[in-house]
A and B are shown apart, each in its own frame.
Chain A
């Protein structure tokens, strides 16, 4: 199994969710994140004092999938999150050793 992690623009979350549902992925974890890549941040002004804010708000999506699906899932996320502008984010995958469904105790791919 693989853990696919994506850090994307917050407003693209719905598109990614729809894309994954259409592909047949029925569960995912979403968390608010912040960070920067090449996009860097922005400037804010309070009573004339300028602050450069490096961290830009992002959404992190985590989904565990079977090995065979992993590449396609990455493609789905990239396709649905892409705007073509700087700051679109990153997607990566990493191996997962085991997984358990808490309710039933099922293990491995059955737990997905």
Chain B
């Protein structure tokens, strides 16, 4: 029998990282949920977690195969690993089991789709959202992840206009954040503004939840980035530190903008700066130095803090700033690789400032624009079709009463001892008689 080269350290780190990334989903649910109004927090959490369940199943059935199966430059192979066929066998030539990689990448698929939910808070039909999530994952995430990370993918190989210089996207600046951000923008257009936006104040209802969520995201993101090394080695350690560095700098940058522009450094700004920094360093964490990470993070914090105001100028209700944070942050990180990358970092590429010229920058730009345009167009078309057939938006009355109550028949908070003055009505009654909810 052949001697196995399996590394226990690598395997343990990949599996641990997968669990860390999964923790980002309840983290995201809290981060987003705290920012919604009190009557829509459960729906936001359900949109995030619902995606985990659905895309998780899709990933196992055909998503992994479509993403990482042997295909062409644009798409993997639908049948090769269908149902994860053949991936349970121990391969003595692999440093980690195939299933560890499948599990790790599953978490990336679910979180990318879940990120979009922030753009459509308070007003989306849950069923329509789930249908959108399933179709978008199939037509957009799986192919784009193939472009960026699968051997043979055109961005991974630097094909076509890249002239052989592959774009660097270590952990998902294009495939995850630009992808989700562009889809969020498209859906915000499809759905339209929330009733009363932007005249009616729609303040975050619980900033402590937002802060807990940001903390969980930051914690889990170490798995997201450092786990993407797919090894417990020098690369994962450098990536880990860069992830920390950029995040600190970005939070400071965001707070500085707030202090100068608004007169106050806010806790929401701190939480947002954390996420902006994490987004921006995601593609770049293997290709910049710690100082480069600080610069990149600071730029991302400042630009994202300015970008969240754009929706008021252009009049689209990207409710929780998926565009301002994920699209802009993803673009900043992806493009700055072309400027700040240094050969001394694990990726071993020089950007403009390190004498590498603009070759890398052009590849980064092409990858970023390609993913952005593809995701936006497809999300818009998918959203429009769902809207025209099953309807994407809840009724005006339901939106006023609150999507938690009208869609899920629950309320997040019951603070009064007297409850709502109701009585037990039996089991199975709610479905028989759908009561009118009045405000």
Contacts and interface: CB of A to CB of B under 8 A. Distances in A.
Nearest to B304: A47
Interface of A: 44-51, 53
Contacts of B309: 47-49
A46 B258 contact: no
A44 B266 CA distance: 10
A53 B201 CA distance: 9
Contact of B272 (A44, A45, A47, A49): A47
A71 B424 CA distance: 48
Interface residues of B, number: 19
Contacts, number: 31
Interface of B: 198, 201, 203-204, 258, 261-264, 266, 268-269, 272, 305, 308-309, 312, 321, 324
Nearest to B207: A46
A47 B308 contact: yes
B198 A46 contact: no
Nearest to B200: A51
B198 A45 contact: no
Q: Which 7 pairs of residues, A with B, have the shortest CB-CB distance?
A: A51-B201, A45-B262, A47-B308, A48-B309, A46-B268, A45-B264, A46-B203
A47 B324 CA distance: 10
Contacts of A50: 262
Contacts of B324: 47
A47 B263 CA distance: 12
Nearest to A47: B308
Contact of B266 (A46, A51, A53): A46
Contacts of A48: 258, 261-262, 305, 308-309
A48 B272 CA distance: 12
A48 B324 CA distance: 12
29 contacts: A44-B203, A45-B258, A45-B262, A45-B263, A45-B264, A45-B266, A46-B203, A46-B204, A46-B266, A46-B268, A47-B268, A47-B269, A47-B272, A47-B305, A47-B309, A47-B321, A47-B324, A48-B258, A48-B261, A48-B262, A48-B305, A48-B308, A48-B309, A49-B198, A49-B309, A49-B312, A50-B262, A51-B201, A53-B201
